[in-house]
Structure 1
Amino acid sequence: MRTAYTVETVRTAERELMARLPEGALMQRAAAGLAAACAGLLGRVYGSRIVLLVGSGDNGGDALYAGARLARRGAGVTAVLLNPDRAHAGGLAALRRAGGTVTDAGQWEAAVERADLVVDGIVGIGGKGGLRAEAVPLAAAARRARAAVVAVDLPSGVDADTGEVRGAAVRADLTVTFGTHKPALLVDPAREYAGTVRLVDIGLELRHRTPELEAPQHADVARLLPAPGAESDKYRRGVVGIAAGSARYPGAAVLAVSGALRGGAGAVRYVGPAKDAVIARYPETLVSDRGPRKAGRVQAWVTGPGAGDDAATVAEVVREEVPVLIDADGLRLAEPAAVRARTAPTLLTPHAGEAAALLGVDREEVESARLTAVRELAARYGAAVLLKGSTTLVAPAGGRGAVRVNATGTPWLATAGSGDVLSGLAGSLLAAGLTAVDAGSCAAYLHGLAGRLTAHGAPVSAQNVADGIPQAWRDVSRAG
């Protein structure tokens, strides 16, 4: 499991480690890792031209010490000091001893334009609210230059804890982060500014601290996926109920069932007006026209996809004392008080627009502060929340604790019906016995991977994605 920790947690761990190390040793570890990453990106260090954009914090010190190491290997290293009086004295002295230089005030832009590599050491992990005015031209020049851009720990101008970008920020090709990932490196929109991320181990002790984010990998998902045993039958494996679709949107029901059939449960029951379309496409589905309460044995329900204005069915499902996933129209139709009153697990699966409607804010506010939004929704509804998007987030009920983040997807998944497949898949995992957070994060992982496998850089339909789930499942299972 890849993990990310808050700035406060990282700084506490750093202070504890520095108390056990000689003075300056931790910065030297970071500088060594940074220099090695820069050298790897350059390929040939000797004769290369490197520009350091140096702020007044420790990130500036890391950049200066790394620059000194590269200068000793024959690189021409130039430092641009945003605040010369507050530059890290030890790092600056080391750079000069190694043959590095500091630009004159009017010459930094030409140095950036000629550079092979630009190192962003402007702002550390405590920066808030975008770059200050004096740093904006530097970031713009770095973006225009032909040079590769390496960010120290985090691209300057992004919020480390939330992933928000509230102003101008550096766009990096590579971010070299120290000790642990920071939330902004895993969550959009900041993630888009980080480029490739390389983690350098500097010895921080974080195992007994609660992470802000967890990013499951193949092996983590493999451990969670249900597998039938010798004594399994369809009921022991779980039965998922799908209450979805309408006369206007029968396809939503078909697609939700398609995801559910591939999600590990032993059987799928369908209730709703699209039963003829469902049974025609998937004859193994158990269909009923007597409503959710009389549909038969069910271990979890999915409601909402394509429901139109069928508030009565959504309300009936919400009252059921089994795990329930609410998606699409169900998010609009379900009574918030009824959702909060549930005692069985609940998983809400909005996209940014639906989340904005539930929170009473603009969509842009959700998209710019995704981590804040998913926690607020989980707290407000007392439910686990899967917030769809380029980085899908899954928050535990109540909004506290580690949020799961998934980035296996592809932009080609932004297609009609894709979310219906995801809902059916997650509902099936709920019926198979996974917790709401595990079901949501595993479903997002498999769904994203299936999208990648089937797209291959070309458009895909929601049904293509559903058809790709078994291959994604096999790929993940092999890692376990």
Structure 2
Amino acid sequence: MRTAYSVETVRAAERALMARLPEGALMLRAAAGLAAACAGVLGRVSGARVAVLAGSGDNGGDALYAGARLARRGAAVTAVLLAPDRAHPGGLAALRAAGGRAVPAAAPGPEAGTGDAPGAGGTHRAALSAVGRADLVLDGITGIGGRGGLRPAAAALAAAARDSGAVVVAVDLPSGVDAGTGEVGGAAVRADATVTFGACKPGLLIDPGAGHAGAVRLVPIGLEPFLPATAELEAPQHADVAALLPTPGAESDKYRRGVVGVVAGSARYPGAAVLAVAGALRGGSGAVRYVGPAGDAVIARFPETLVSAGPPAKAGRVQAWVIGPGLGEGPDARRAMKDVLASEVPVLVDADGLRLLDRKQARRRRAPLLLTPHAGEAAALLSVAREEVEGARLASARRLAAEFGATVLLKGSTTLVADAEGPVRVNPTGTGWLATAGTGDVLSGLTGSLLAAGLAPREAASAGAYLHGLAGRRAAGRTGAPIGASEVAAALAGAWADVASGSDG
């Protein structure tokens, strides 16, 4: 399990470690790992041109010391100082002693414009030239304590780095990204790679911040003994998901393996029922019981499905319900929703079901409830703008879980799984090609089947999202071709086999 810790937790661990080390030793340790990572990116260090964007904090110090190491190996290193009078003195002295040079980020003038302090009227030409000619730009403008977007001079340098064609490496976190949430409140560095120290921070794994981080490399600096056993964020890996997958034993039969009930589809949207059932059939339960008006379409595609016209309470025994895809919002849909929520088994609510969800009834449930909204549906449930959810995915998922007393699988470019308490799970698999009609229906069926097979909502949601993302990649293939939801469903068996065997596919 890949883990991430809050800024406060990381800071506390750093203080505990620094109390046991000589002064400055931790920064030099981080800088050594950073310089090694940059050397790996460059391939050949001697003769390479490196621009170090250095703010006034420890992040800038890390970057300057790393720049000094690269300069000693023959790189032409220019430090662009965002606050020249407050640059890290030891790091700057080391850079100059190694043959590097320093220029101010901002030209003299009456207006404020540095990345972290007032004092300039525009970006210095020498600074822009250093960035424009660089093979590698090292972003040490702000650290994990930074808030909000970059100020004008820093933003101009970030834009120049993006346009230069240089490889951009962020120090610990791309400047302008909130380390704790992944929120981007204005201009921010967009890195090709991020070298982070001691522990991952949530902002590196959650969009929109994750989209700015590029490839993330974790450099150990000795924090592990000082970090708590429970992280704030978890990203499952193959082995974690493999341990969750239900496996039938010699004594298993279809009922012991669990039956998932699917309430989905309508006369207008029969395909939603078919796709939800397709996902459910590949989720590890022993049988799928479909309830609704699209029975003929379901049976025509999947004759192994148990079909009932309803209502859900009279359809037969199930170990979990999935309700919502293509359901509509008419009287029959409302009765079905009330019926399912009154059951004493786990319930997954998606799509149209989320619009019918009564908050009071949801909170009164004793059995588990799992909600699977995308950003727009989450925004409607929270009565906020969609942009607010997309810009603050972590906070939105946690708030939904708390307000509805549920587990929440918030779909999107970063899919999150949140309970009211405990670490939030972030799904590391997927592809942009999954953003197509019907793939969410497949995910609902798959996850509901895992619920029926006995997984707790948090685990079912984590495993379902992981397998769904892998199936999307499999369906798109190595060329990244457009895919449909049916192809994703068909690829689930291969994704399951890959995870169970430990293969990357």
1:427 to 438, 442, 448: 448
Match of 2:283 in 1: 263
2:401 to 358, 378, 399: 378
**Secondary structure of 2:243's partner?**
helix
Q: Distance in 2 between matches of 1:262 and 1:207?
A: 38
Q: Are residues 1:181 and 2:200 paired?
A: yes
The Cα offsets for residues 174-194 of structure 1, whole Å up to 9 and x where unpaired, read as 100001111111000011111
**Secondary structure of 2:255's partner?**
coil
The Cα offsets for residues 20-51 of structure 1, whole Å up to 9 and x where unpaired, read as 11111111110001000110111110011111
**Secondary structure of 1:103's partner?**
strand
Q: Are residues 1:455 and 2:476 paired?
A: yes
Match of 1:194 in 2: 213
Q: Distance in 1 between matches of 2:341 and 2:310?
A: 17
Q: Are residues 1:389 and 2:412 paired?
A: yes
Q: Distance in 1 between matches of 2:266 and 2:163?
A: 52
**Secondary structure of 1:412's partner?**
helix
**Secondary structure of 1:301's partner?**
strand
Q: Are residues 1:111 and 2:130 paired?
A: yes
Contact (CA 8 Å) 1:386, 1:394: kept in 2 or not?
A: yes
Contact (CA 8 Å) 1:163, 1:190: kept in 2 or not?
A: yes
Normalising by structure 1, what TM-score? 0.98
Paired amino acid for 1:431: A
**Secondary structure of 2:348's partner?**
strand
Match of 1:349 in 2: 372
Q: Distance in 2 between matches of 1:165 and 1:125?
A: 13
Q: Distance in 1 between matches of 2:498 and 2:28?
A: 40
Q: How does 1:132-151 map to 2 (within 5 A)?
A: 132-151=151-170
Q: CA deviation at 1:95?
A: 0.8
Q: Distance in 2 between matches of 1:137 and 1:406?
A: 33
The Cα offsets for residues 438-457 of structure 1, whole Å up to 9 and x where unpaired, read as 00010000001001001121
Q: CA deviation at 1:319?
A: 0.7
The Cα offsets for residues 230-264 of structure 1, whole Å up to 9 and x where unpaired, read as 11111111110011111111111111110000000
Match of 2:10 in 1: 10
Q: Distance in 2 between matches of 1:138 and 1:21?
A: 35
**Secondary structure of 1:172's partner?**
coil
Match of 2:438 in 1: 417
The Cα offsets for residues 275-327 of structure 1, whole Å up to 9 and x where unpaired, read as 11111111111111231111111100000111101111011101100000000
Q: Distance in 2 between matches of 1:229 and 1:192?
A: 42
Match of 1:246 in 2: 266
Contact (CA 8 Å) 1:386, 1:393: kept in 2 or not?
A: yes
Contact (CA 8 Å) 1:390, 1:407: kept in 2 or not?
A: no
Normalising by structure 2, what TM-score? 0.93
Contact (CA 8 Å) 2:10, 2:227: kept in 1 or not?
A: no
Deviates more, 1:178-187 or 1:133-142: 133-142
The Cα offsets for residues 67-98 of structure 1, whole Å up to 9 and x where unpaired, read as 11111101111111111111111111111111
Match of 1:297 in 2: 317
Q: Are residues 1:369 and 2:392 paired?
A: yes
The Cα offsets for residues 357-408 of structure 1, whole Å up to 9 and x where unpaired, read as 1111111111111111111100110000000001100001x2x221110131
Q: Distance in 2 between matches of 1:256 and 1:51?
A: 52
**Secondary structure of 1:79's partner?**
strand
Match of 1:48 in 2: 48
Paired amino acid for 1:46: S
Q: CA deviation at 1:479?
A: 1.6
1:308 to 328, 333, 356: 328
Q: Are residues 1:326 and 2:345 paired?
A: no
Q: Distance in 1 between matches of 2:470 and 2:227?
A: 28
Paired amino acid for 2:281: L
Q: CA deviation at 1:111?
A: 1.2
Contact (CA 8 Å) 1:311, 1:334: kept in 2 or not?
A: no
1:401 to 413, 419, 422: 422
Match of 1:36 in 2: 36
**Secondary structure of 1:136's partner?**
helix
Q: Distance in 2 between matches of 1:237 and 1:394?
A: 24
1:336 to 341, 356, 359: 359
Match of 2:254 in 1: 234
Match of 1:474 in 2: 497
Q: Distance in 2 between matches of 1:124 and 1:348?
A: 35
Contact (CA 8 Å) 1:255, 1:417: kept in 2 or not?
A: yes
- Sequence identity, in percent? 73
Q: CA deviation at 1:462?
A: 0.6
Paired amino acid for 2:191: A
Moved over 2 A (4+): 205-210
Q: Distance in 2 between matches of 1:290 and 1:118?
A: 62
Paired amino acid for 2:458: V
Deviates more, 1:5-14 or 1:140-149: 140-149
Match of 2:222 in 1: 203
Match of 1:436 in 2: 457
Q: Distance in 1 between matches of 2:403 and 2:386?
A: 18
CA-based RMSD of the aligned residues comes to: 1.0
Q: Distance in 2 between matches of 1:370 and 1:230?
A: 43
Q: Distance in 2 between matches of 1:214 and 1:245?
A: 34
Q: How does 1:68-87 map to 2 (within 5 A)?
A: 68-87=68-87
Contact (CA 8 Å) 2:372, 2:409: kept in 1 or not?
A: yes
Paired amino acid for 2:32: A
Deviates more, 1:166-175 or 1:197-206: 197-206
Q: CA deviation at 1:207?
A: 5.1
Q: Distance in 2 between matches of 1:122 and 1:257?
A: 50
Q: How does 1:92-103 map to 2 (within 5 A)?
A: 92-103=92-103
**Secondary structure of 2:467's partner?**
helix
Alignment gaps of 5+ in structure 1: none
Contact (CA 8 Å) 2:236, 2:428: kept in 1 or not?
A: no
Paired amino acid for 2:388: E
Q: Distance in 2 between matches of 1:34 and 1:174?
A: 11
The Cα offsets for residues 179-220 of structure 1, whole Å up to 9 and x where unpaired, read as 111111100001111111111001102553431210000000
**Aligned positions, number:** 478
Q: Are residues 1:58 and 2:58 paired?
A: yes
